[in-house]
Chains A and B, each alone.
Chain A
């Protein structure tokens, strides 16, 4: 592999190999769109958006349940900004807030501790999204809440795990993915081993990649290299931040607070042991339990193909709603919501090419 970025770009531009590479992680989708890398890839190399995007895979039923909860006058719903515009079946958190729900955006789950202690008469519910990177931060926050004896804090956990969904995608015979750009920060926690296991089992190259443009270019080049030589292993590009063994303290926190549960992934259906919810020691913090929430059914939006797009089965512009009923200004499904979601990114690049 060439260490010169310019030559790397030229190299990738001139690759004749026909392949589909999946950017598992939502942050990679953002970084790739922002750096412009999508614009230099030849038509024979396709970048697919994957399921590692909380905005895209949080089930509609869960969003509906959370919106309903936020409408209780006693409840302060606290969330990361990412989730504000995601459509449930009847609107988004942003719309609920405009109609009077007390919904607050935070950067860190730790901020909920202050909100809870300053509002002892109200119930503070944190919408716990994110994968193995974020779940430990929520676990640590809940442990701290326990120490501080904060009784009015709970978490609606829709945390999910990456390896099980990758397994589901690879097991699906309809899916056409040749290699994975693996999430760099999830790997900070998990280490390389879960991806190595998947690479061997499914014979797919995987590269744990960082988020700067040069990281992503190196990651793509390494994947192409493996495909050309017929290898299928997990490689570590993001060596400056990921230790091969991951972060054991973070993983231990996850085990202390959570346990794996079956989870509903928007557009992908139920995947066993792919989510996290509180274990028996911390179940008092489970908002579903505390408020006795029965999550309704997933409402299918006719024509919405987000599930197929998220699992690499369909390209955005193959969705019947793309560009007419579903646009960035009026998104129907989650892939169009985030400015850099697969469908939103494709929509803009098509506009440019016209």
Chain B
């Protein structure tokens, strides 16, 4: 019910808008649900809206698990 991807806020726009960078793609989104967001924050993006700020440290920890596995398999 809820596809969400991480993106980094690179610009804040008037009227609760923002531009997020997702691996080079620049996407115009709404921050109506997360007005406190700042440039540099990583956010979860769903249906064109920023839903929540992503804790990068925790994100890295989870990714490390998969990387460990891939190393093991090589």
Contacts and interface: CB of A to CB of B under 8 A. Distances in A.
Physical contact A–B (CB less than 8 Å)? yes
Interface of A: 3-6, 8, 25-27, 52-54, 80, 107-111, 130-131, 133-134, 136-137, 140, 143-144, 183-186, 188-189, 210-215, 218, 239-243, 247, 249-250, 253
A106 B58 CA distance: 32
B30 A25 contact: no
B65 A214 contact: yes
A108 B47 contact: yes
- Give the size range of B's interface with the partner: 20 to 34
Given A25-B2, A131-B2, A214-B65, A137 B52 contact: no
Nearest to A2: B65
Identify whether the interface residues of B are mostly helix, strand, loop, or mixed.
mixed
B62 interface: yes
A136 B63 CA distance: 29
Given A136-B33, A140-B49, A241-B52, A210 B2 contact: no
Contacts of A242: 52
Nearest to A250: B33
5 contacts: A5-B65, A5-B66, A80-B47, A109-B47, A140-B30
A110 B58 contact: no
Contacts of B25: none
B44 interface: yes
Given A5-B66, A6-B72, A253 B33 contact: yes
B47 A137 contact: yes
A339 B68 CA distance: 31
A134 B72 CA distance: 39
Contacts of A144: 32
B48 interface: yes
Contacts of B59: 240
A34 B47 CA distance: 21
B47 A186 contact: no
Per CB-CB distance, the 9 closest pairs between chain A and chain B, nearest first, are A108-B48, A185-B2, A240-B58, A133-B2, A5-B69, A140-B32, A240-B59, A214-B65, A250-B33
